[in-house]
């Protein structure tokens, strides 16, 4: 079950397109993109991404699985909670802040802001340039 047997049944060199048939009666249309594979090993890494995982094959071959309840769900609108890729945050972590460093950064930002304002006012001839 760990071996992946496949056959490339079609290849268009100009379009960088191939069709792969797997021995588990599935197939994949693959459009290659950059970086293009430089050898068989790199091509097989791409092909593996389109093959059904072992667990899907095992599930398909499982004769004792009772999935008859799914038939009653066909064409029946249902609602469930949408999943998220973000973990739930139950508590905001406490971050120690170096207050002295924070004050120094704020003072530097204030000076930089004041200098930028003076620069703009000089460029608009609102205040004279200092020598």
User: How far apart, in whole angstroms, are the C-alpha atoms of residue 46 and residue 18?
Assistant: 11
- The answer to whether position 72 is within a domain reads no
* Ordered per-residue pLDDT tens for the chain, 131 residues: 578 899 999 999 999 999 999 988 889 999 999 999 999 999 999 999 999 888 888 888 877 888 888 889 999 998 888 777 777 766 777 778 788 888 899 999 999 999 999 988 888 888 888 75
> pTM of this prediction?
0.49
Identify the sign of the CA torsion 9, 12, 13, 17. Answer: negative
- Count of domains in the chain? 2
- The answer to whether position 29 is within a domain reads yes
- The answer to whether position 87 is within a domain reads no
pLDDT in the model for residue 59: 83
Q: Which domain holds residue 112?
A: 98-131
């Amino acid at each position: 079950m760990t071996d992946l047997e496949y056959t490339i049944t079609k290849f268009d060199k100009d379009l960088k397109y191939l069709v792969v048939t797997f021995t588990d009666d599935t197939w994949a249309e693959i459009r290659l993109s950059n970086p293009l594979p430089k050898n068989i090993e790199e091509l097989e890494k791409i092909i593996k991404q389109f093959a059904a995982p072992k667990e899907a094959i095992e599930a398909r071959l499982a004769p004792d699985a009772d999935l008859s309840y799914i038939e009653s769900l066909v064409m029946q609108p249902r609602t469930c909670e949408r999943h998220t890729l973000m973990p739930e945050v139950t508590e905001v972590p406490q971050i120690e802040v170096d207050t002295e460093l924070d004050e120094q950064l704020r003072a530097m930002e204030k000076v930089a802001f004041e200098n930028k304002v003076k620069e703009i006012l000089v460029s608009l001839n609102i205040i004279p340039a200092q020598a």
